[in-house]
Structure formats: C-alpha cells, structure tokens
Structure 1
Amino acid sequence: MKKNKLVSIILILCLLVTMLAGCGRSSTTATDNSSGTAKVTESAKTGSEATATETSSVSLDGLPESVSAGTIAASPDFYSNTDLSKDYTVNMYLIGDTPKAWDEVLLKVNEYLKPYNTQLAVTFMSWSDYQTMYSLVLAGGEDVDLIFTAPWCYMYNEAAKGSFYELKDDFITNYMPLTRKYQADESWSETNIAGKTVAVPSNVATPMGKIVAVRQDLMEKYGMSELKTWDDYKKFMLTIAEKETPGSGIYALAAATDNNELWDVYRQQSDTFLALDSSYLDMMYQYNGGIPAKEDIKLAYEYDSFRNFAKDMKEMADAGCWSRSALTNTVTDDDAFGNLQGASIAWNASVFTYMEQAEKTAGVKCMAYDLTTDHLVGAEAYSNNDMAIAAGSKNPERAAMILDMMKFDTYLNRLLILGVEGEHYSIDAKGQYTELDKATDFAASAISASWAIKNGNLTEAGVPEREKAITDSWQDRVVMNPTITFVFDDTKVKSNVAAVTAVLTDYVPSLELGLVDDVDASLNEMLQKCKDSGLQEIYDEFYKQYDAWLATR
C-alpha cells in the first residue's frame, strides 16, 4: 500500500513543504503574540529542581510577528531563566542515515552555540535499526535529552511508559520563549496525551489533497483537454484501455497491490475523514462541520461510497485499465508512470516528482488535476513529526533551549535543514532557497529532525506554476481532521483486530482493483466474515474509548 510508502516520499517532498509549530491546549493560556513579549519566570536555576520565584519578562520586541515574516536571531538574554554557567552537551537522537556532510554542519552548529556554553551531540538511529533501538534508548541505558517521535514512531507507547518529559505551560513559557511566541496554538492538542503534553509538534498543517496525474500528451491524442470530475477521469482511463493499451502496452494505471490512493481520491468527493487508519481497518465518517458522533463512525467498507467505488474499479479492470496481475505487481504505479508504463497515477503532491521523471522523455507532457475542487482538503497532522525531551534528561531546561533555537533561530534552523549556505544551498532576496550541486551531501530531508523543526519560513525557489496552482488552491479548503487526537488502544480486542484485519487484507485489495467476479457478493461476504471475526467487539471497545475521549473535548 502507498500508505506504507509514505516515509520514502516524505524524503522527496520534505524540502518543498513547511512544517512545525504547535501550541494550544485547553489548559494553556498562550502569550499574546502581538505584544512581542514572552513572560519568563526567574528561577533558582538548578536544572530539573528549578522552582519559580518571581515573574519577569524577556523582551522579544523587534522580532517579526510570524516566523515566516523575517529573520529571527536567538540571544542568551532570551534564556535568562536557564542556568548557562556550566558547560553542557545536549544529546539528541534522530531517525535516519547520517548525511555525508554532517560533521561539517555539526561543527558550525556548535560554534554557534558557544555563547550558550552548550554543545549538541547527535546519534542517528538508521531506518533499518530504529525499530529495535528506539525503546532501548529511552529505557535508561543511554544519556538522551532530545528525541524525535511521532504517532508512527512510538509516541503513544512511550508516552504511556512515561518516557517523555511533560511540557507544562509554565515550562514552555519559562524555557522556550520563541516556541511560546511562534508555535501554532492549535497544534499542541495533538501531542497532548492523557492530559499531558509530551512533545513539541510540527508547526504547519500541510495540505494533503488527493489528485491524479495523467499523460497530457495522450489526453490530447484522443481529443481530451482537461479533467474536472471523476467521470472525466474514468472516461480517460477507459479510452486509454481501449485505444492505447493494445498497441503501446501502456496501461491507464499500472496498478500494484491495491488502489488505495485512487480510493482516497474517490472518497474526497464525499468529504470523509478517517477516525482510525490502520492496515485496511479504516474507521471512516463524513465530515459535517464538527466532531462526529460515535454512531457516525463505522468501517469504511460499510459505506455505499466504497461499494460504488468498487463497482467503478471492476468496470475499469474488466476494460483492461490495469494488469490482471496487479495484486502481485512489484513495480509501484508511481515508478511505472515515471517510466512511461502507466498513463496516470493518484496521490498527493508527490505526483509532481513522477511527472517530471516522465517528462524527461521527448514528447511526453504531464498534468495534474484536482477532481474535487468544491470539497474539503485534509491536512497532515501537526503531530506527524515531533521532538520530545526525554524524561531521563539530566537538564531538560537546556534541552528545551536547544529545541527552541533549532526550530526558530533562522541561522540554526537553516543550517540543520539545508546545510551550509553557499555550499549546499543559496537564498534569494525573497528568502527562497535553491539547492546547489553539493546539496546531496547534506540530505537533511532524510533526517527526522528536519521534518520536526520546519517552521514555515522556508520555501523552494522555482516551484513549477502547475504545482503552485494546485497546492495554492488547497489553502482555503484545508480542514483538520477533528478526531486526529483520538487514539484507539486495541489491547482489549487485539485478537479481534487481528482476525478482522486478516479478512480485510484478503478482500480489500481485490475489491479496490475490481478483480472480483461480483462486487456486491464479494463485499457482502467480506463484511459478514468481519462480523464473524469480532467486528462488533471492536466497535464496542472503539466507541467506549471514543466516548471517553469526546468527554475531554
């Protein structure tokens, strides 16, 4: 499934999108950002034993009102509450492979931190090792101050163990003044677990609209100019299958393993969100402007919209829009599109990467289309990439200062995301960056920290107009999933979840690819097997937990 391939595409897109901010818990009274002042409490400055005594303030006058509005420079004066008299090394753990130029960049980071009597040491947990290393690092065997986390990276499990330092409102105000000023208020709720804020979330809700990309040269070859609706796309697909595939061998969509992303495009027409997204066990609801009632949430495949989608998929499969062996294809539809083996793909803004790949061949033209321009656009959760202070940190205040600076001090932020200016990137008068020849030596987009510290002030120069046209059009339609902070704990129904997931894994890919004899019969059979495997028990536990969560909203 493409949802399992998301990490690899983030590596491609990461330098194109902005991320990071967060602030806004029900228990939080945020500083008035228009004042340019963050209140800071004078303390005894004895590390984790510091206690507030009297209130003072650090002036942030002169700094821009938003992080994207100009250059921000931190100062030791901002951290007058933190004892900087003794040298301290902040140990940070990240996920990813060490960039070639990392030592050079880290040297410049530590030169910059000299006035703060602080150094930064970083340990990388590689993509192949982090699943086994992560919990062990936090279990107490290592000195760790800062660590990347996310819902997909053990945040909920480790929070339940107490592995993260609680970020109380006073702590943020006292020791993270730039975060207090610039973090998006609404983002904090996404890292608030069981009433405790356990991490600093990303700072921008990145639109994640679902679109299709097509071979525009083939569109024009068969008398079509643009796609506006799902029916337009369906007509294009059937046309390619009838007129192009027999001669050239190009499939309308070179599908592989399932058609999950095309399903996402389809369901976008009915303004739906997922309250649970878990290996085909998707609990879905239609968005009507607020938090849904529990009765409105049910297995995605119980909705008529999925039944209708599956019937369209069967029509396309029977017409030859993709291979009959699509279930076992090992080449992704994206790669196949880029290699000119497919005439369309469906996904988010990732499609532009593959469009550019296809267009390297003379005569090939591609275009992307949003088929749901009058419907909402979902957004990547703020909490998809976070930084936490470890509960075992020997100096959480110093760790907080470093995190504050990494996120919002312009020089440090650019250094850790883009590398060395003039060597790995250049910045123009508009503050837009361009990668230089040595950019690959500092592939920060492959490092988790670069996702978590993006703050909204980095945009790439020269983004193609066709891409901007679509992504800009999403801005006014972005809606955050109101159930994003609900986390389902399946501990009490683990066996039922495993059994139902097994059924869904057997049926859903075939239904999404239309590779069934009878859609209604197959779908009904699947749903009955889900019920026999304990779907109602899952519902009962899901709704019980949802009621408890709803009571906290």
Structure 2
Amino acid sequence: MKKKKLLSLTLIVCMLVTMLAGCGGSSAASTDNSSAAAPAAESSAAGGEETAAAALDSLPAAVGEGTITASPEFYASTDLSKDYTVNMYLIGDVPNDWDKVLSLVNEYLKPYNTQLAVTFMSWSDYQTMYSLVLAGGEQVDLIFTAPWCYMYNEAAKGSFYELTDDFITNYMPLTRKYQAAESWDETTISGRTIAVPSNVASPMGKIVAVRQDLMEKYGMSELKTWEDYKKYMLTIAEKETPESGIYALAASGDNNELWDVYRQQTDTFLALDSSYMDMMYEYKGDIPAKEDIKLAYEFDSFLAYAKDMKEMADAGCWSRSALTNTVTDDDAFGNLQGASIAWNASVFTYMEQAEKTEGVECMAYDLTTDHLVSAEAYSNNDMAITAGSKNPERAAMVLDMIKFDTYLNRLLILGIEGEHYSIDDKGQYTELDKATEFAASAISASWAIKNGDLTEAGVPEREKEITDAWKERVEMNPTITFVFDDTNVKSYVSAVTAVLTDYVPMLELGLVDDVETTRDEMVTKCYDAGLQSIYDEFYTQYDAWLATRQ
C-alpha cells in the first residue's frame, strides 16, 4: 500500500523519495575530484581554538537565517579515528543522478573519516522488505520511518535506538540547536524517543487534479464540489475511456488518497494513523473525548464514501484489476493513462509532467473550501538510528549533518546547485532543466530531512491560489502528540490489521457486490480479531495522555 496520507509538498520539497524496483541496491559513492569538502574543511580551520559550544553559538540562531556549516569540532564526543561507512535505507526510486550526488556527499564527509552508503527499497517491495531488513543480517545504521511506514510496529519490537537527551546533546549538536522543540513528542513512545522527525509542519489540504482539456471537451469548466468531481469521473468513464483507454482514475492498490479528499468534507482528524488501522474523530474545536474516537471504517462517512466508490467502479472509472496494479495512479496521470488523481499539493508535479505533452492542460481543485485543513505532522516523515547499528554515534553525526548542514541538506533534497537547481539572493530555489535527473520527489530521506530552509521561487499562480487559501483554514490536530503503544495488544493489532488489509482496499475501490454487507462483515471480523481489546488499551492510554493536557 502506498500510504501518502500526510505527505506534503506545500512550501517546497514536498515530494522526495523512492527507490529501485526491487529492493534496490546499495549505492556507495565514488570519489570524484570535487571541491565539495571545502566547506567542512574551511569551517574546521575557521573554528581554530574555539570550543564546540562557542562555534555552535556563532551559527545562525534559527534555520533559514543564514548558512549552517557543520565542523568536525562539533563532534568532539564522537570517535572519528577509524573509517566508518554509515548504511542508510530509504524508500523510493533511485534518481538518475543519484550516484553523482552521493559522490559529492561522501567527498564532503571525508574530513569526518565517514562515508554514506544507501540502499533503496522500492514502493512495490518495501512492505515486505522493511521488517526483514531490520530483523535480518544486513548492517543498517539509519532508516526512514513514519507512522505509515511501520514506525509503531518496529518501535514495539525494539528496532530503533533510543535517542536520550544526553545522546542528542553529545552526538547531534545541530539537531539539539535547530530541531523544533514541539516536534519530539510525536516520535516519543512510552517515554522513549525513537526517531528524529521532520522539522516542518505544513498545511496538508487534500485536492484533486484533473485533465482540464478533457473537462472542456465534455462541456465542464470547473469543479467546486464532490458531486462535480463525481460527474467528471462518470463522464470520462462513459465517453472518454471507450475512445482513448484513459481511465477516470488509474487506481492502484487502493483509493486512500481519494478517501482523504472525501473525509476532509467531514472535518475529521486521525488520532491514530497506522497502516489501515486508522482511529478517527470529528473535530469540534477541542480535544475529543475518547468515546468520539473509533475505527475510521465504523463512521457513516466511510460507508457513504464506499458507496460512491462502487458507483464509480461499476461505471468503469478504473480498472477491475486496480487492486493489483503496480503503476501508481500518480505516475499513470503523469503518463496520460489517467484523467485525475487525488493527493495534496504534490499533484502539481504530476500535472506538470502530463502537460509536457502538447495539448494537455491540467488543473487542481479544492473540493472542500469551507472546511478545515490539517497540518502535516512532524512525525509523518522521520529518520531513525537502528538498534542494531554498530556505530550509533557516527550514524547520529551523519543524520545531524544531512538535516542541518546547508550544503548537505540542499544536495540531498535538490541535487547539485547550478545543475539541478539555482538559488536566488532570497534563498529561493528554481529547478533547472536537469532537475528531472534528480527530481525533488525522488528521495524519501528528503521528506524526513526537511528543515524549513527551502522555498521555491516562481510558484505557479494556480498552486499559490490553493496553498495560500489553506493557511486561513489550518487547524493542528489536537491529538497529534498522543502516541499509541500497542505492546500490550500487539497480537490483536496484527490480527485486526490483517482483516483491514483484506477488506479496506476492496471497499475503497468499490470492488464488492454489496458495500454495506461487506463493510459490516469487515467490522464484525475486526471485533472477532480483538478490536474491543485494542479499544480498551487505546482508551486507557488516551485517558493517561489526556490527564497531562488538563
């Protein structure tokens, strides 16, 4: 399942990670002759006799207020006497220029006696590979994680290294200085901090993108409501698909992104976002009572959504083999195989891809302009040091640097300055012609290492119009710092998740004979598998958390 629920592109780098089709291979850097190491070397020399603390104090007070350059003296507590390769695992597709970029990263790390090697797990493989990688014999030091990427399950197994205050202070000085203080709660489970979250929490409105040229072909000008969108989808299925083979939505695996668009109309938040086991509540302006939180699929809104999905599936809006399609709906839209997609501001990237074909016009629409917009959780994209790391201190140093050293951060997010992007005097970046060789949507680490330093110059007006409007409607999920520890009900969680994995994709794609009967059957099986025991544990922990907010 490609879980993109809380993914953001709003201010900038919104999309970055992905990998090789097939668990991908390790990529160690070559050592091209390069001046990339100069910033670190110069910083070290400039530091002279200054203590690490004094040198840190001399850096900008906050991210975005100037260039942040790491120095070996910052890591006096880390033993750098021996060469060490930090192995990092990410999710996604390898950009064409990845080896070139990684070579520069490793040139920069030379003064630290450190190299970075990266293994990519593809979108099609990461679900089966992720846990195996952490449990197997591979040497893993750093790994991308998130609530939608097994963070809670692996934390319960003890797969991640605990980041204590002392550890962060001693081995991650830039993180200590620049990481948003409020972000740590989101990756702290039962008092143990198990990952470093993103440093950005941006508006996360959900929108749809469509082929505007096809809209006009069939006499439609704009979409204002969900019903307008349904009419467009059904029209494409009836009139366009038989003619060109283009599906209204080239769905793949499930329809959770479209579900997010739909549920935004009901002003809902998630108190637990974990694979398909989502605990949801309707936001009424305050922290919800525990009784108001329940499995998302027990709400009438999901039942109504599933019925709409069946209507569209029966009309031929997507393939009957959508459950097993391996091409994502986004890529299909960009390749002109689909006439719409649903997501956040990331849709604009795929709109631009589609518009490279002459005659194709795209437009994005917010169907819920009178409803709240959630903010992306800091914890939606995280980097963790593994419990099995042979050198967690060195892994911490590399993570510290790729998050906050300006040169390394921009290198891994945007690529090579002057080749893939340029930066103006306001610190705003512009993608260059070769940006497609290192797409800003290509590296999962880039989501996790966002630090708020980058904004894109010349954002198209059609994108600004939507994202600027979100700012007026943003509400922070009041339960965002509540983290459910499923240790005591792990077997029940696994059993319920297995049921949901079987049923939810079918319901989200409308590929069932009777929606209500199938939904009720799923819920019954969830209770048979232990859902009530999960509720009991969830509510007990929620009460304890709620007491700290009184």
Q: TM-score, normalised by structure 1?
A: 0.76
Structure-2 residue corresponding to 1:108: 107
2:63 pairs with one of 63, 67, 76: 67
CA distance in 1, matches of 2:13, 2:233: 30
The separation in 2 between residues aligned to 1:213 and 1:367, in whole angstroms, is 6
SS of 2:464 mapped into structure 1:
helix
Task: Determine if contact 1:2/1:261 at 8 Å carries over to the other structure.
Answer: no
Deviation, structure 1 residue 461: 3.9
Measure the CA separation in 2 of the matches of 1:220 and 1:438.
33
TM-superposed CA distance for 1:210, in Å, is 1.4
Q: How does 1:73-472 map to 2 (within 5 A)?
A: 73-74=69-70, 79=74, 82=76, 87=81, 89=83, 91-96=85-90, 99-102=98-101, 104-110=103-109, 114=111, 118-127=112-121, 131-135=131-135, 149-151=145-147, 152=149, 154=151, 157-158=154-155, 161=158, 163-168=160-165, 172=168, 176-388=172-384, 403-436=399-432, 446-472=442-468
The structure-2 alpha-carbon separation of the partners of 1:393 and 1:491, relative to structure 1 and needing over 3 Å to count, comes to closer
Moved more, 182-191 or 102-111: 102-111
Percent of aligned positions with the same letter in both sequences? 71
User: Which of 237-246 and 193-202 deviates more?
Assistant: 237-246
- AA aligned opposite 1:282: D
CA contact (8 A) 2:89 2:142 kept: no
Cα deviations across residues 73-127 of structure 1 (Å, max 9, x unaligned)? 45677x4x9358974656533114693125631353135xx4xxx3322232442
The answer as to whether partners of 2:255 and 2:505 remain within 8 angstroms in 1 is yes
Q: Give the Cα–Cα distance (whole angstroms) in 1 for the partners of residues 387 and 250 of structure 2.
A: 48
Once residues 56 and 246 of structure 1 are traced to their aligned partners in structure 2, the CA distance between those partners, rounded to angstroms, is: 67
The equivalent of 1:528 in structure 2 is 524
Look up the SS of the partner of 1:368 in the other structure. Answer: strand
Is the CA contact (8 Å cut-off) linking 2:88 and 2:117 kept in structure 1?
A: yes
Instruction: In structure 1, list runs of 5 or more residues that go unmatched.
Output: 20-54
> Which of 401-410 and 202-211 deviates more?
401-410
- Give the match for residue 30 of structure 1: none
Q: CA-to-partner distance for each residue in 1:210-229, whole Å, 9 max, x for gaps?
A: 11111111222333221122
Q: How many residues align?
A: 503
Letter in 2 for 1:108: E
Residue 69 of structure 1 aligns with an amino acid whose one-letter code is E
1:347: Cα distance to partner?
1.8
Cα-to-partner distance string for 1:309-335 (whole Å, 9 max, x where unaligned):
223233334444344554455544334
SS for the counterpart of 1:94 is: strand
Distance change >3 Å, CA 90–CA 465, structure 1 → 2: farther
**SS state at 2:204 partner:** coil
Mapped contact 2:189–2:483 kept (Cα < 8 A): no
- Of 2, 13, 17 in structure 2, the residue corresponding to residue 16 of structure 1 is 13
- Aligned pair in 2 of structure 1 residues 476, 73: CA closer, same or farther (>3 Å)? farther
Counterpart contact for 1:405–1:413, Cα < 8 Å: yes
Question: Partners of 2:101 and 2:52 in 1: how far apart?
Answer: 39
Contact 2:5/2:256, CA 8 A, preserved across alignment? no
8 Å CA contact retained: 1:101, 1:441: no
Instruction: Give the conservation status (yes or no) of the 8 Å contact 2:234–2:312.
Output: yes
Q: Give the 3 Å change call, closer, same or farther, for CA 448–159 of structure 1 in structure 2.
A: farther
Per-residue deviation at 1:254?
Answer: 3.4
- Deviations 1:327-350 (Å, cap 9, x if unpaired)? 455544334433434322212223
2:246–2:339 Cα contact (<8 Å) kept: yes
- Once the two structures are superposed, residues 230-251 of structure 1 have per-residue CA deviations (whole angstroms, 9 ceiling, x without a partner) of 1221232233344444544443
Q: Indicate how the Cα distance of structure 1 residues 71 and 304 shifts in structure 2: closer, same or farther if over 3 A, else same.
A: same
- Matched with 1:29 is none
Which residue type is aligned with residue 483 of structure 1? T
1:479 aligns with 2:475: yes
Counterpart CA distance in 2 for 1:262 and 1:524 is 21
- Between the aligned partners of 1:18 and 1:341, the Cα distance in structure 2 is 21
Q: Shift of residue 496 of structure 1?
A: 4.1
Q: CA deviation at 1:500?
A: 3.8
Moved more, 217-226 or 415-424: 415-424
Q: Deviations over 1:487-529 (max 9, x none)?
A: 4444554554455444444443343333444433433343334
Residue-by-residue CA offset, 1:18-66 (whole Å, 9 max, x unaligned):
99xxxxxxxxxxxxxxxxxxxxxxxxxxxxxxxxxxx996376775453
SS in 2 for 1:225: coil
SS in 1 for 2:164: coil
Assess, with a 3 A threshold, how the Cα gap between structure 1 residues 231 and 419 changes in structure 2: closer, same or farther.
Answer: closer
Give 2:132's aligned amino acid.
Answer: T
- Evaluate the alpha carbon distance shift between residue 452 and residue 228 of structure 1 in structure 2; reply closer, same or farther with a 3 A threshold: same
In structure 2, C-alpha distance between the alignment counterparts of 1:389 and 1:196, rounded to whole Å: 13
Where structure 2 has 5 or more consecutive residues not aligned to the other structure, the ranges are 17-50
Deviates more, 1:279-288 or 1:400-409: 400-409
Query: What does the per-residue CA deviation read over 1:259-289, in whole Å, with 9 as the maximum and x for residues that have no partner?
Result: 3222111101111122333443322111223
* Equivalent residues of 1:17, 1:459 under 8 A apart: no
Q: Is the 8 A contact 2:287 2:478 kept in 1?
A: yes
Whole-angstrom distance in 2 between the partners of 1:391 and 1:326: 38
Contact 1:90 1:145 in 2 (8 A): no
Local SS of the residue matching 1:337: helix
Aligned equivalents of 2:274 and 2:548: distance in 1? 24
From the CA coordinates, give the structure whose radius of gyration is larger.
Answer: 1
Counterpart residue identity of residue 304, structure 2: N
How has the CA–CA distance of structure 1 residues 373 and 120 changed in structure 2, closer, same or farther, with 3 Å as cutoff? farther
1:167 partner letter: T
CA RMSD between the two structures: 4.0
Whether 1:514 and 2:510 are equivalent positions in the alignment is yes
Does the residue aligned with 2:373 lie in a helix, a strand or coil?
Answer: coil
Deviates more, 1:517-526 or 1:307-316: 517-526
* Counterpart secondary structure, 1:342: coil
Q: SS in structure 2 opposite 1:16?
A: coil
User: How many angstroms does 1:159 deviate by?
Assistant: 7.2
Rounded to whole Å, the distance in 1 between the matches of 2:313 and 2:445 is: 42
